Amino acid sequence: MLRLVFFLLTAGFAVGPVHSAETPREIDWEALAPALPEIEDPFTHLQPDQRLDLFAISGIRAQAENGATSKVSPTYELGVELTHKIKSAGLDVEALLAKLREIEEEIARQDSMTVPELEGQLVKMPGYALPLEFAGKGVTEFLLVPYLGACIHTPTPPPNQMVFVRLENAFTLEDIYTPVIITGRLKIAGTTKTLSYVDGETDVATGYTLDATAIEIYRQ
């Protein structure tokens, strides 16, 4: 698995004062996602093993479409066998896969939705920093993510759970795995940024941009 080389912020370092009498609104990560009705599960009639087989078929077909799996490979043959297995149970595989794609598209749509009321607000929020741009030994841009290991050992958080942070003044990086609190002006402005790993890099999408004015160590 790809390993991200990154550092977090040093304790007590401030990028600069907040030049305003405005009190920052303290928010958590749930505040970045709009309240939406829960997506209904269309596969409650399937047995647990049938659900797993369906997801496996979907993944294998996606790999084949992207050129990651050959149609003469053992992986693709497994997909064919699982398709036959589900059909033998009297189920319409293609209809189930179409419904699965529909659900995945709806999840992706919701994951990209932001909260309009947050536009331009001065906020204060916790998170973990994944540096992007450096100036000498200091960092000037980073991604703020909701939990330790995001984008490294787990699937990338959805865009509305990723914040691109910009700093006027670079700060020095010395510590790792340190949660921080960022104060700044929040904007609903999506970006796509590249994270570098030891053996590669990946692009990640964010739903918000934060022009930071202060940074501090998060203490519960």
The structural domains of the chain, with segments of one domain joined by +, span 8-34+113-217, 48-111
Beta bridge partners of 180: 127, 217
Q: What count of other Cβ atoms lies within 10 Å of the Cβ of residue 73? A: 14
Topology of domain 8-34+113-217, per CATH? OB fold (Dihydrolipoamide Acetyltransferase, E2P) (2.40.50)
Residue type at position 166 = R
Q: Cβ distance 126 to 28 under 8 Å? A: yes
pLDDT band at 65 (very low <50, low <70, confident <90, very high): very high
The SS3 call for residue 87 is helix
Alpha-carbon gap, residue 213 to 196, rounded angstroms: 25
Per residue in 142-183, pLDDT tens?
899 998 767 666 678 999 999 999 988 777 656 556 788 999
Alpha-carbon torsion (13, 16, 21, 25), positive or negative? negative
pTM of the prediction?
Answer: 0.77
